[in-house]
Amino acid sequence: GAGVSQSPRYKVAKRGQDVALRCDPISGHVSLFWYQQALGQGPEFLTYFQNEAQLDKSGLPSDRFFAERPEGSVSTLKIQRTQQEDSAVYLCASSLAGGQFKNIQYFGAGTRLSVL
Partner 1 sequence: KQEVTQIPAALSVPEGENLVLNCSFTDSAIYNLQWFRQDPGKGLTSLLLIQSSQREQTSGRLNASLDKSSGRSTLYIAASQPGDSATYLCAVNDYKLSFGAGTTVTVRA
Sheet holding 5-7, edge to edge: 5-7, 19-24, 75-79, 65-68
Residues 68-87 that bind partner 1 (CB under 8 A): none
114 binds partner 1 (CB under 8 A): no
CB-based contact 108:89 (threshold 8 Å) = no
Q: Does 107 bind partner 1 (CB under 8 A)?
A: yes
Q: Does 25 bind partner 1 (CB under 8 A)?
A: no
**SS3 for 81?**
coil
DSSP conformational letter for 103: T
Taking 3-state DSSP, the helix, strand and coil percentages for the chain, each rounded to the nearest 5, stand at 5, 50, 50
Q: Are 115 and 10 in contact (CB under 8 A)?
A: no
Taking CB under 8 A as the rule, does residue 21 contact partner 1?
Answer: no
How far apart are CB 16 and partner 1 at their closest, in Å? 26
Quick one: 27 or 58, whose CB is closer to partner 1? 58
Among 26, 44, 72, 74, binds partner 1 (CB under 8 A): 44
Least Å distance between CB 90 and partner 1? 11
Q: Which residues bind partner 1 (CB under 8 A)?
A: 33, 35, 40-45, 48, 56, 59, 91, 93, 103-110, 112
